[in-house]
Amino acid sequence: MQGEASSDQCAILRVYVGIDVCKAWLDVHVHPVGRSLRVPNTGAGWKQLRRLLREWQVALVMMEATGKYHRQAHRDLHAHGFAVAIINPLRPRLFAEALGTLAKNDRIDAKMLAVMGESIAPKAVAPCSQTLEDLQELLRARQSAVDEATALGNQLGETGNAFLKKQLGIRIRQCKAFIAKLEKELLRLIDSDAAMARRFEIVQSIPGVGAIAAAWLVIGLSELGACSGKAASLLAGLAPLDDDSADRKGHRRIRGGRADVRRGLFMAAISAVRFNPDQKAFYSRLIAKGKAHKIVVTAVMRRLVVLANTLLKEDRHWQPTAPNSA
């Protein structure tokens, strides 16, 4: 019968597991066995899932990045010896469409993740530390508060109603106080972790990179120092990608990556072209060649990411002149 296998077959069969995650449930598909099930996204559900997966030799478990909902399941599976890959949700959807699967539901998504795992075998990743998760949550909360304060400021500038102006002013002051508290807790948590504090200190040594930009680099791009400069640029969505076809040479553009990190780096790049001699010279050279300001600032952002990656990899502070060993 479909979906069933003998005990001998289970013992030797390498399977790929796709898990579609939501707040309450985990939809699971085991490929190529064809077994599907749903378990609660709770401790009891994870235990049930582990009991099922022990029937096979699991090559890889595939999960989509879903904010906080996938993290505990990821942590539990990793702790019990399963290799887990976390993937951008867009990729399995595009993969499904490439296979001609246009319908979408949780069960289909789990199956596509499993098939994709066998097809491209992405690298398994360990779950990040609890400290890093807390820092990421604080940084996202700060960004939301900054966005809210900006929207309120725009509204204040457009209104002529005295009562509304007063109330908007109160809310803006509350937002700014909340942002200050978040930043204080963010820095306290960084200082409480020696490894994170060291990384933060290294990145902040780069002229033009302040505390918040440094936080985005070491928290939003936690892979820095363990990857190549090109990979770091791609993670940040700052690597210019080709858009050519036959004789047509299209403009190279950035796409994808982590938009919040780019937002956090924009003002750092503006500051760097004023106070960092290398970046200032680079900026002036490209502007003199007729490059647009926005394009050059994006290039400076990319250089900052690559520089931070190099410094973290070499575990050293920024210096006006790179050491001979660098």
pLDDT tens digits along 42-65: 999 999 999 999 999 999 999 998
pLDDT value, residue 253: 83
Considering the domain boundaries, does residue 268 fall inside one? yes
Which pLDDT band, with edges at 50, 70 and 90, does 2 fall under? very low
Q: Which residue has the higher pLDDT, 326 or 158?
A: 158
* Phi, psi for residue 242 in degrees, rounded to 5: -65, 150
Give residue-wise pLDDT tens across range 300-315. Answer: 999 999 999 999 999 9
Instruction: Report the CATH number at residue 19.
Output: 3.30.420.140
- Say yes or no: 259 and 292 in one domain: yes
Residue with tokens 């002013």: 169
Distance CA 127, CA 125 (A): 6
- Say yes or no: 317 and 225 in one domain: yes
**H, E, C per residue of 5-68:** CCHHHHHHCEEEEEEEECCCEEEEEEECCCEEEEEECCHHHHHHHHHHHCCCEEEEEEEECCCC
Considering the domain boundaries, does residue 321 fall inside one? yes
Residue 112 in this model has a pLDDT that exceeds 60? yes
Give residue-wise pLDDT tens across range 59-91. Answer: 999 999 887 889 999 999 999 999 999 998 889
CA-to-CA separations, 176 to 135, 138, 146, 216, in angstroms, rounded? 19, 15, 8, 19
Single-letter residue type at 53 = L
Considering the domain boundaries, does residue 1 fall inside one? no
- Say yes or no: 242 and 315 in one domain: yes
Distance CA 18, CA 197 (A): 36
Which pLDDT band, with edges at 50, 70 and 90, does 11 fall under? low
What average pLDDT score do residues 241-270 get?
A: 85
- Say yes or no: 158 and 177 in one domain: yes
DSSP string, 82-95: --EEEE-THHHHHH
Count of structural domains within the chain:
3
pLDDT value, residue 322: 67
- Say yes or no: 241 and 317 in one domain: yes
- Say yes or no: 321 and 203 in one domain: yes
Considering the domain boundaries, does residue 126 fall inside one? no
Considering the domain boundaries, does residue 102 fall inside one? yes
Which pLDDT band, with edges at 50, 70 and 90, does 4 fall under? low
- Say yes or no: 104 and 47 in one domain: yes
Residue 7 in this model has a pLDDT that exceeds 80? no
Range of the domain at 96: 7-120
Last residue of a domain, one of 63, 97, 120: 120
- Say yes or no: 225 and 320 in one domain: yes
Last residue of a domain, one of 164, 192, 220: 192
Peptide bond into 32 cis (omega under 30): yes
- Say yes or no: 161 and 187 in one domain: yes
Considering the domain boundaries, does residue 207 fall inside one? yes
pLDDT value, residue 1: 40
The pTM of this model reads: 0.82
Residue 248 in this model has a pLDDT that exceeds 90? no
- Say yes or no: 323 and 215 in one domain: yes
pLDDT value, residue 320: 81
Residue 243 in this model has a pLDDT that exceeds 80? no
- Say yes or no: 96 and 164 in one domain: no
Residue 8 in this model has a pLDDT that exceeds 60? no
What average pLDDT score do residues 288-297 get?
A: 93
Last residue of a domain, one of 162, 192, 222: 192
- The mean pLDDT of the chain is 91
Give residue-wise pLDDT tens across range 86-111. Answer: 998 889 999 999 999 999 999 999 99
pLDDT value, residue 290: 94
Distance CA 199, CA 222 (A): 10
Angle, in degrees to the nearest 10, between helices 293-314 and 229-236: 130
Considering the domain boundaries, does residue 257 fall inside one? yes
pLDDT value, residue 22: 92
* Phi, psi for residue 34 in degrees, rounded to 5: 90, 15
- Say yes or no: 231 and 188 in one domain: no
Considering the domain boundaries, does residue 2 fall inside one? no
